[in-house]
Amino acid sequence: MKMVPNEFKRGPGGPAEVVITGKKVRIEFIKGYAQKPNPFAGQVFLFTVDALPLKSLPSGEYNVLLNTDGDSIFGICPLNQTVQVKFTHFSSPTDQNGNRMPPTPKRDAGTRQGKNGPYQYDEMKFTAIGEITSPRDFRGLEVAMPFLYNFRDDGEGGLAISGTGARSQMLNDFLRVAYGGDFQMPFSDNILPKLELLLQSAEREFMVVIKNGWPSSYADAMNGVSRKPAKKPAKLVTKKRK
């Protein structure tokens, strides 16, 4: 008999006020937060604390993502908070037997609204997942860290970051703090599987500033937490686009 994997389908999401009273959880999506419209603003969803990843989670403002039916909490993360995290893995799908597949970059294309009107975009992206280790109130929650797949051959067969813009710099900052220094590795069409193993082996914790529900910057841990020192103090170079 054919086995079909259970795939998550995105449902209501965005900035929300989460109120926890006893065993009851009330989630109301915020209207007009950060001047960004949300079609789910004002909608209220009720759960029990068993639906939360942490039963001791405090009430407050969070970035929340539910499934399509609105009866399951897929993700919840502090809306505005500086947290200490450790890298766990890159987001990846599962096969028909429920086994995790190797992480691969994902294409994202469509239309965005810019200052001068709508424009088309076509990008390759990937998402790193980190687990919060501090503050204690949020310990165990996951933080999704999306990046452009801005990698290229450095001209000598090595890995380089393409471009010097803000999003390329953010990618470089993440790799530096997650690994504990600069490094070198061979370029390939999909470097995510090997990069995932490299960052997991570093076992480092680092700081993430979450603003409006999403990471805005990365830095070394304030207390210098590092279970293992970086082994390869080499350099991951940044290349300008030609």
For the chain, give every domain's residue range.
Answer: 10-75, 83-239
CB 174 within 8 A of CB 145: yes
Write down the pLDDT at residue 208.
97
CA–CA distance, 213 with 3 (Å, rounded to integer): 35
Q: Which residues have C-beta within 8 Å of that of residue 112, sequence separation ≥ 6?
A: 118, 119, 121
pTM of the model: 0.84
At 174-186, the pLDDT tens digits run 999 999 988 899 9
CA–CA distance, 211 with 217 (Å, rounded to integer): 9
CA–CA distance, 207 with 137 (Å, rounded to integer): 16
CB 147 within 8 A of CB 127: yes
CA–CA distance, 73 with 15 (Å, rounded to integer): 14
Write down the pLDDT at residue 112.
84
Scan for tokens 């088309």, then name that residue. 120
At 89-111, the pLDDT tens digits run 999 988 888 899 999 999 999 88
CA–CA distance, 202 with 29 (Å, rounded to integer): 38
